[in-house]
A and B are shown apart, each in its own frame.
Chain A
Amino acid sequence: MVGLLQRAPWSELADDLTDPVVRDALRLSLVCSAGATALAFVLGLPLAWVLARTELPGRRAVRALVLLPMVLPPVVGGVALLLAFGRRGLVGQYLDDWFGVRLPFTTWGAILAEAFVAMPFFVIVVEAGLRSLDRRYEEAAATLGARGFTTFRRVVLPLIAPSLVAGAALTWARALGEFGATILFAGNLQGETQTMPLAIFVELQTNLGGAIALSLVLLAVSIVVLVSLRERWFPA
């Protein structure tokens, strides 16, 4: 950290940050990490519910699969995504043939790659939140005439809101820093799939100042996330 701050070209920081490559990367990072977080939310919430609340036979296997990307090297994840969603991939060929949807080397692909790597954080935090939720609130809602979905919307969601926020923040932070799976599955096209970590990698070889400026932005983001969630993990 100190090294990063000490070498920071403070005077040229403004120039570096307005460079088109940097601006594109910044914009793409925000778009992709937000998209990945949204995707994790939409897919992860039902998944967390299933894992926390049902007695589905294959539940343990599903959990293992969901959590796998946490321990899997992201590069391997990228290869797997290519084999699945690539143009000749298991799912990808049908997406292409039937819907004309091509994911690899597109912004959507970058979003998918980031979501793949980051979603486990959301699922794990939200599942824990659901498990620690006192079931009697749902039972009370039922005895008051609320059906399943009403109870979920008006009782469960508000009560697990802290978990949703924490899970989304972690997911977003992880997605923001995603490198391996993204570069493998989505490539490194400026303005299309080149997010900040990818741009840092490229800049480092030609323009150290730009790389440092981008790194500083990511560092600042990490600190903001940490500070805003500290109450949750390190209560005073």
Chain B
Amino acid sequence: MTLDARVEASVGALRLDVSLDASSGETLVVLGPNGAGKTTLLRVLAGLQPLDAGRVAVDSAVLDDPVTGTWVPAEQRPMGFVFQDHALFPHLSALDNVAFGLRARGVRRPDARRRARTWLERVGVAGHAGARPRSLSGGEAQRVALARALVVEPRVLLLDEPLAALDATARIDTRRQLRRHLEAHDGARVVVTHDPVDAMTLGDRVVVLEHGRVVQSGTLADLRERPRSRYVADLVGVNLYQGMADGGRIRLRGGGELLVTGTLHGEVFAVVHPRAVALHRREPEGTPRNVWTGTIDHLDVEGDRVRVIVAGAVPVTAEITPAAVSELGLTIGTAVWASVKATEVSVYPV
């Protein structure tokens, strides 16, 4: 394992307690809402902040371990850090920014500049070698920052919200390129982001961080099929319920019941895809199905679908066509019945 870490640290009121690992050639995405402790986690890994308990190791060399009193300062760690708003040195040209790490390691100026130029070419900003950071666009600055971190060939590359500082157009372009550059780096990569699209584009494996703890980890498919928290469910866009299962019946935590085809007993999660939810103006009849009443709280148009958020005893989001919305005459405040077939509910233990 290239990076192996268990991090306990506190930031203000937040207690961070996270274990993670990443191997070479892999991009681990740490996904979480703002304030979940993502940046602190990266800072601890990079050695910009000590941990209270735990251990950080790269290639089985321990960098930080309070128990044995091991502490390798940031400047001696084999890690690169790309800061959220790049933190390029404003008094140095793009070229000298990239050459900085080599110069700090004792490489002579002409050699450092030559290697820095190669990297600027690789990330496609060689034309701005002489420019000061303030005259670079967000996307250009991001690439310079990436080149600056990669030129010293770190074993682990840490990226803090690499795309957050960019506007929408630059983002799409830069995201694609970033993925290419990350794949070319032969060490481990850890990307922190709050954006699920970034996570899906950049990452091989995702760790979801909430309130300083890992609530779920796995591939993106795992997350989509079996979300284990409201945050993850919202990210992947499904309805998530938690309750006590008793065969084909789940008593939901927030009140109400869910009929399912499963045979599980005990605490379970249940997921309903919004496309499996049907909306009616009159009470529906027929096959074993779940039927709830509610009023429409919200209508979100997303491409050729409309997400209808229904508030009620059992809150549910349905995804239907715009045609269906107008056919049913749905507006905010309309009273509706929502129905879901028992076969459409997937259930798994907590």
Answer yes or no: A46 CB below 8 A from chain B CBs: no
Residues on the A chain within 8 Å of B101, using CB: 144-146
**Contact status B73-A140, CB under 8 Å:** no
CB distance from A208 to the nearest CB of B (A): 50
**Contact status A137-B75, CB under 8 Å:** no
**Contact status B83-A146, CB under 8 Å:** no
**Contact status A140-B89, CB under 8 Å:** yes
**Contact status B48-A146, CB under 8 Å:** no
User: How far is A136 from B105 in the complex, measured between Cα atoms in Å?
Assistant: 20
Answer yes or no: A141 CB below 8 A from chain B CBs: yes
CB distance from B41 to the nearest CB of A (A): 15
Residues on the B chain within 8 Å of A228, using CB: none
CB distance from A130 to the nearest CB of B (A): 15
Name B155-173 residues within 8 Å CB distance of A: none
Interface bits B274-298 vs A (CB < 8 Å: 1, else 0)? 0000000000000000000000000
User: How far is A141 from B80 in the complex, measured between Cα atoms in Å?
Assistant: 11
**Contact status A147-B87, CB under 8 Å:** no
User: How far is A155 from B149 in the complex, measured between Cα atoms in Å?
Assistant: 16
**Contact status B100-A143, CB under 8 Å:** no
**Contact status B90-A159, CB under 8 Å:** yes
Residues on the A chain within 8 Å of B100, using CB: 141, 144, 146, 154
Tell me how many residues of B have a C-beta within 8 Å of chain A. Answer: 25
**Contact status B87-A139, CB under 8 Å:** yes
User: How far is A158 from B77 in the complex, measured between Cα atoms in Å?
Assistant: 25
Residues on the A chain within 8 Å of B104, using CB: 141, 144-147, 150, 154
Name A159-200 residues within 8 Å CB distance of B: 159
**Contact status A142-B89, CB under 8 Å:** no
CB distance from B156 to the nearest CB of A (A): 11
**Contact status B79-A143, CB under 8 Å:** yes
Residues on the A chain within 8 Å of B83, using CB: 136, 139-140
Answer yes or no: B269 CB below 8 A from chain A CBs: no
Residues on the B chain within 8 Å of A136, using CB: 83, 87
**Contact status A143-B105, CB under 8 Å:** no
Residue of B nearest to A161 (CB): B91
User: How far is A143 from B88 in the complex, measured between Cα atoms in Å?
Assistant: 12
Given A145-B75, A145-B152, A146-B100, A139–B105 Cβ distance below 8 Å? no
Residues on the A chain within 8 Å of B148, using CB: 144
User: How far is A90 from B81 in the complex, measured between Cα atoms in Å?
Assistant: 52
The list of the 5 closest CB pairs from A to B, nearest first, reads: A144-B101, A146-B104, A143-B81, A142-B74, A140-B87
A-B contact pairs, 23 of them (CB 8 A): A134-B87, A137-B87, A137-B89, A139-B74, A139-B83, A139-B87, A140-B83, A140-B88, A141-B89, A141-B104, A142-B73, A142-B74, A142-B75, A143-B46, A143-B74, A143-B77, A143-B79, A144-B149, A145-B75, A145-B104, A147-B104, A154-B104, A155-B89
The chain B residues found within 8 Å of chain A, CB to CB, are 46-48, 73-77, 79-81, 83, 87-91, 100-101, 103-105, 148-149, 152
The chain A residues found within 8 Å of chain B, CB to CB, are 134, 136-137, 139-147, 150, 154-155, 158-159
